[in-house]
Amino acid sequence: MADFAQQLIEWQQQHGRHSLPWQNTQDPYRIWVSEIMLQQTQVATVVPYFQRFMTRFPDVASLAQADEDEVLRHWSGLGYYSRARNLHAAALAIMQQYHGEFPQTHEQINTLPGIGRSTASAITVFAYGQSQPILDGNVKRVLTRCFGIEGWPSQPAVEKRLWKLAESLLPKADIQCYTQGLMDLGATLCTRSKPQCDNCPVRKNCVARKEGRIPQLPTPKPRKALPECEIVMLLLIADNEILLEKRPASGIWGGLWSLPEVAMGENVQLVARQRLGLETKLLPALPLVTHTFTHFRLHITPQPLQLLKILPEVRQNGLVWLDKEDAIGAALPAPIRKILLGMGTN
């Protein structure tokens, strides 16, 4: 057990990552934002988003003072938008409950919106040097392979076992280097496919390597067929302006701007008249756009409609007309931005 931590520390000092934009700091705010962005998102994708986010929101106060829509606009394209909403909500909580000072205990940090045990641990390790175990996806892969742990890692019983193992492996010193080493190992060598086992610092004791079970570990999640969903998105056009609709805070793309949504088979002109108060002319549909979520696959038919007249007796909140350039720059889901960018090129 002790050898595992020491081997990892020595490897990280020599071969690990040391120049990422959220490293070489003890600022809990920067560390927190990076940890949230890195959830289910690769480093190469996160780096430019993180840099832009820090330029606009350099501290907790500036993030809390911004409105949610602006935060979502700076997050647009990263996906999993509940992370951005929780980030904003947590900044407000820090201002209100801790007078703008980032909390310093694991227990306090763990109560903030969008922060779980592993993220709270990473913040306390890197910002405050506290000894806490982490267990993100990369770490689960490293531990299941090295110690031969079977079963889907997110299954409660398996995850409980992994937490106990992670706690037992904590070194008595160099906790920051060790924790970064775990992250680096999973991200750069012990990858999901084509792991570089010959360069791994713990290869001599790796159970999966000894037993030839690297492709089988970690045990994959039991697979189910992804449900398929079809919808129509109304692309309402008036001169160079496009109608956007604010989505509900809950559900997919919560709080983002999008195109008005209609069920397949509905009369789109009737919906535009009754729900939006718009008389329209039907234009040819655009090519299908498919977007895959974690739990289902969404097929979007973009249906352009030319605005003829706005009916004064129908009014609805949450609608805005923007010119095409401003609409593309709004806080949009990635597939909606793709539709707008494709206008006029089909």
Give bridge partners of residue 307 from the DSSP assignment: 280
For a pLDDT cut of 70, what percent of the chain falls above it? 97
Looking at residues 14-28, what average pLDDT do you find? 96
Distance (Å, whole) CA 227 – CA 277: 33
Answer positive or negative: Cα dihedral of 237, 243, 244, 245: negative
Given a cut of 90, whether residue 316 has pLDDT beyond it is: no
Catalytic, 230? Answer no
Task: Write out the two tokens for 319.
Answer: 């609608």
Given a cut of 60, whether residue 345 has pLDDT beyond it is: no
Calculate the average pLDDT of the chain.
93
184-206 pLDDT, tens digit per residue, is: 999 999 999 999 999 999 999 99
pLDDT at 346: 43
CA 240 to chain centre: 32
Taking CB atoms within 8 Å and a gap of at least 24, the contacts of 189-196 are: 190/138, 190/141, 190/142, 190/145, 192/141, 195/145
For the ranges 29-33, 253-257, 264-268, the maximum mean pLDDT occurs at 29-33
- Identify the burial level of 225 via C-beta atoms within 10 angstroms of its C-beta, where 0-12 means exposed, 13-18 middle and 19 or more buried: exposed
The pTM for the full model equals: 0.80
69-115 pLDDT, tens digit per residue, is: 999 999 988 988 999 999 999 999 999 999 999 999 999 999 999 99
Distance (Å, whole) CA 256 – CA 244: 10
Domains in the chain (CATH in brackets) are 2-138+169-184 (1.10.340.30), 228-342 (3.90.79.10)
- Helices 43-56 and 68-75 pack at an angle, to 10 degrees, of 150
**Size (the chain), residues:** 346
Question: By the 8 A CB rule, do 112 and 90 touch?
Answer: yes
Distances (CA, A) of 226 to 153, 221, 223, 297: 21, 13, 9, 6
Confidence of residue 1 (pLDDT cuts 50, 70, 90): low
148-189 pLDDT, tens digit per residue, is: 999 999 999 999 999 999 999 999 999 999 999 999 999 999
DSSP run (H or E) holding 322? strand 319-323
The residue behind tokens 């909606």 is 336
Query: How many other CB atoms are there within 10 angstroms of residue 106's CB atom?
Result: 16
Q: Which phi and psi angles does 94 have, rounded to 5°?
A: -65, -40
Instruction: Of 136, 124, 138, 137, give the one whose Cα is nearest residue 176.
Output: 124
Distance (Å, whole) CA 202 – CA 195: 13
Q: Catalytic residue among 10, 35, 107, 325, which?
A: 35
Confidence of residue 210 (pLDDT cuts 50, 70, 90): very high
Distances (CA, A) of 90 to 10, 41, 130: 36, 20, 21
pLDDT at 295: 86
Residues near 239 by beta carbon (within 8 Å), at least 6 away in sequence: none
Query: How many other CB atoms are there within 10 angstroms of residue 280's CB atom?
Result: 23
Distance (Å, whole) CA 54 – CA 51: 5
